[in-house]
Amino acid sequence: MTTVPDADRIASVLEFERRWWGAASGRKEVRIRQEFGWSPARYYQVLNALLDEEAAVRYDPVLVGRLREVRATRAELRRTRRPGTGAA
């Protein structure tokens, strides 16, 4: 059974991501730990799951759309990379 995140969690994660979009990863990782108490890996797991939630789209359709595009681009790059070389 999948648990639907509550509105407060959706808002806090999306607001954080909007503020820190494109920031240097080291500083962002420190803020993730301070603000959420999560590892950066956990933060990105939660963020990725939120991108599939209709409530997240309603909350900020532009940000969610942009993040979905980034996710799709990265997935495509992983699919087209030649095994063992890291190259396409």
Question: Which residue type is seen at 82?
Answer: R
Confidence (pTM): 0.80
Query: What pLDDT shows up at residue 85?
Result: 62
Segment 15-31 mean pLDDT: 86
More confident site: 21 or 2 = 21
Joined together, the tokens standing for residue 49 give 């799951």
Task: Kindly report, residue by residue over 41-87, the tens digit of the pLDDT.
Answer: 999 999 999 999 999 999 999 999 999 999 999 999 988 876 766 66
Contacts of 71 (CB under 8 A, 6+ apart): 48, 51
61 to each of 11, 26, 67, how far by Cα in Å? 12, 27, 10
Segment 3-8 mean pLDDT: 76
Joined together, the tokens standing for residue 5 give 């995140």
